[in-house]
Structure 1
Amino acid sequence: MQATVYKSTGSWYAVKTTTDETFQARMRGVFKKDEDITSTNPIAVGDIVEIAPDDSDANAKNAIITGIGARKNYIVRSSPHGKNKKHIVAANMDQAMLICTVKEPRTSQGFIDRFLVTAAAYHIPVILVFNKKDIYREKEADKFAELAALYNSIGYQILLTSAANDEGIDEVRALLKDKTTLMAGHSGVGKSSLINVLMPGLDLKTKAVSGWSGKGLHTTTSAEMYDLPFGGRLIDTPGVREFGIVDIPKAELSHYFLEMQPYISQCQFNNCLHINEPGCAVKAAVEEGDIDADRYVSYATILETITEDQY
């Protein structure tokens, strides 16, 4: 019987079948050893799995996971349990929606770029949603306009919302309809508040931003998928402070900065890393203003964090 993983809680998984039956499922004992699994979580929310009734349990709603289907895509980050380990955030999505803020707490451009790089590596389209419009003053409005112009020019779709005032929610709802969407962002950006507006009655817990640090407080503790009332599915993920890059060699990184792609083949050297090499078309494009200088700084910063002994 085929089912989709909606939630992972330790060794148990909440799954739903194609006929909307729900089960609490656990992995078959030897399953971990049989599969070539290198992540800290062998099964992720969004995975398609094969399940069978658990004959050893009197509870008819318990099942055993006997297999995992091929993934259309997935998105990973470095695991909090080890720098060189990876954690699969979710699998089999149509798109991702990154919730950002320019205030309380400010989402750094570096964080945005790390997320965009990871999504591009796994062919996942990303929509950038800037929330908390209701607290923007002139300074924040100008910063949003600057970031929106930059990422729009690269090809990313940008939305401005206020969960508090229901602004921009219709646009978000239209983009989510009939698709499976990963929603991510720093803690405190209003992700849970947005989901509560989209799904009245769900009542996800929300917390205020920590006043002394400006950092958001965690409210979601594990990834979970919800069926949207207007069609589609939403994968809510725990808020993250950092988004560690894994599985991307240095030589490939520039391919996931979309605006660099037209210039890569014009570099003098095929293995150009676009840092100190002569005849670099990417650096020339930065100097000419065709590639944003801050995006290039993000590229160089991420490049420094990649160690080739990971591969």
Structure 2
Amino acid sequence: MRSTGSWYEVRAEDGSMLTCRLKGKFKIKDLKVTNPLAVGDKVAYELENETENTGIIYDILPRENYIIRQSVHKTAHGHLLASNLDQAVLIATLMLPRTSLGFIDRFLVTAESFRIPTALVFNKLDVLSNEQQAYQQELATLYEGLGYKCLFTSALHQVGVEEFRQLLQGKVSLLSGHSGVGKSTLVNAIAPDLDLRTSEISSFANKGVHTTTFAEMFELEKGTFIIDSPGIKELGLAEMEKEEISHYFPEMRELLGQCKFHNCLHLDEPKCAVKDAVIEGTIAESRYASYLSMVLGEDNRK
């Protein structure tokens, strides 16, 4: 349910909670991740101290899926955000702070690589001008056309809060986004008993102040769980070869096998179906720009 470095809060099958540490063998294994255990993992444990209610995790069960990003500090390693998800929910804002399209697309590609359904929640509707709201609607039309559900919310004004509640119903959902997008405020609007910490946007560069320092799972009601993750500044792709990235863009996946070359990277190869679709307008230029940055390793991770 929660990881705080070397200790893990584990929920037993009867719903009771205990604090566990990881058996040493996991730390010896050459796992290319900074955290061998993720929130959402199913584990086998044995009770160590009944009085103090502590245990030792001796096995991690196979994961159905997981969301991983490149580690900020160890670029050769990945950092697991969460595992065994029914869906991922990205909270985005066009202002205060701005979520770039490159960041949105990287998140979607990461989730697509495990076929994890993803929804976009555009928060802070109340701070947008009419023109900005129209642009946000265009974005929603684009992403919904690709199969991603989109919601518009204003946590402060209770707009879209009920739709947000319904989106999470009966599922295990990872909630993610930049610091300051209003993730905790939205959750507090549907589950005030949790009383998640919230923070004002710092005036310095309009960036959010980190309020969540560790990923944590909460049960909103029976069968409905959310994983609240720390605000992500940047999202580096992990465990992904550049040849496979286009497979995780639904609109490019549809064109598989239609390029002249079977190993086409959709860069400057002749008779490329993807580039033709961009020219024709059936693939959005913003999506192609995001794709290029991922394949070429350009830094639009923020």
Give 1:234 deviation, angstroms.
0.2
Q: Equivalents in 2 of 1:36, 1:12: separation in Å?
A: 20
Give 1:255 deviation, angstroms.
0.5
Tell me the equivalent position of 2:44: 50
Tell me the equivalent position of 1:271: 263
1:8 aligns with 2:3: yes
Tell me the equivalent position of 2:31: 37
Give 1:142 deviation, angstroms.
1.7
Q: Write the letter of the residue equivalent to 2:54.
A: N
Q: Matched residues, percent identical?
A: 48
Tell me the equivalent position of 2:112: 120
> Secondary structure in 2 aligned to 1:127?
strand
1:258 aligns with 2:258: no
Give 1:59 deviation, angstroms.
3.1
Give 1:235 deviation, angstroms.
0.2
Tell me the equivalent position of 2:13: 18
Give 1:58 deviation, angstroms.
6.1
Give 1:230 deviation, angstroms.
6.1
Tell me the equivalent position of 1:27: 22
1:210 aligns with 2:202: yes
Tell me the equivalent position of 2:68: 76
Q: Pick from 200, 208, 211 the counterpart of residue 219 of structure 1.
A: 211
Q: Deviations over 1:124-181 (max 9, x none)?
A: 1100000011212113212211211111111111000111111111111111111000
Q: Is the 8 A contact 1:199 1:229 kept in 2?
A: no
Tell me the equivalent position of 1:190: 182
Tell me the equivalent position of 1:141: 133
Q: What is the alpha-carbon root mean square deviation over aligned residues? A: 1.3
Q: Equivalents in 2 of 1:165, 1:32: separation in Å?
A: 46
Q: Equivalents in 2 of 1:13, 1:196: separation in Å?
A: 24
Q: Write the letter of the residue equivalent to 1:130.
A: F
What are structure 2's unaligned runs of at least 5 residues? Answer: none
Q: Pick from 137, 143, 155 the counterpart of residue 151 of structure 1.
A: 143
> Secondary structure in 1 aligned to 2:206?
coil
Q: Is the 8 A contact 2:32 2:76 kept in 1?
A: no
Q: Is the 8 A contact 1:103 1:140 kept in 2?
A: no
Q: Is the 8 A contact 2:89 2:173 kept in 1?
A: yes
Q: Pick from 121, 125, 133 the counterpart of residue 129 of structure 1.
A: 121
- Count of aligned positions: 298
* Worse-matched range after superposition: 161-170 or 203-212: 203-212
1:170 aligns with 2:165: no
Q: Is the 8 A contact 2:176 2:229 kept in 1?
A: yes
Q: Is the 8 A contact 2:260 2:271 kept in 1?
A: yes
What are structure 1's unaligned runs of at least 5 residues? Answer: 1-5, 307-311
Q: Deviations over 1:175-222 (max 9, x none)?
A: 111100000000000001011112112211111112230111111001
Q: Write the letter of the residue equivalent to 2:216.
A: E
Q: Is the 8 A contact 1:102 1:143 kept in 2?
A: no
> Secondary structure in 2 aligned to 1:84?
coil
Q: Equivalents in 2 of 1:258, 1:106: separation in Å?
A: 25
Q: Deviations over 1:81-129 (max 9, x none)?
A: 2122100000001001000011111110000000000000011110000
Q: Is the 8 A contact 1:45 1:225 kept in 2?
A: yes
Tell me the equivalent position of 1:3: none
Task: Give the structure-1-normalised TM-score.
Answer: 0.93
Q: Equivalents in 2 of 1:202, 1:140: separation in Å?
A: 32
Give 1:242 deviation, angstroms.
0.7
Tell me the equivalent position of 1:309: none
Q: Is the 8 A contact 2:43 2:57 kept in 1?
A: yes
Q: Equivalents in 1 of 2:23, 2:291: separation in Å?
A: 42
> Secondary structure in 2 aligned to 1:188?
coil
Task: Give the structure-2-normalised TM-score.
Answer: 0.96
1:192/1:40 Cα in 2 relative to 1: closer, same or farther (>3 Å)?
same
Give 1:302 deviation, angstroms.
0.9
Q: Equivalents in 2 of 1:143, 1:182: separation in Å?
A: 26
Q: Equivalents in 1 of 2:180, 2:135: separation in Å?
A: 19
* Worse-matched range after superposition: 225-234 or 269-278: 225-234
Q: Is the 8 A contact 1:177 1:230 kept in 2?
A: no
> Secondary structure in 2 aligned to 1:173?
helix
Q: Is the 8 A contact 2:215 2:229 kept in 1?
A: yes
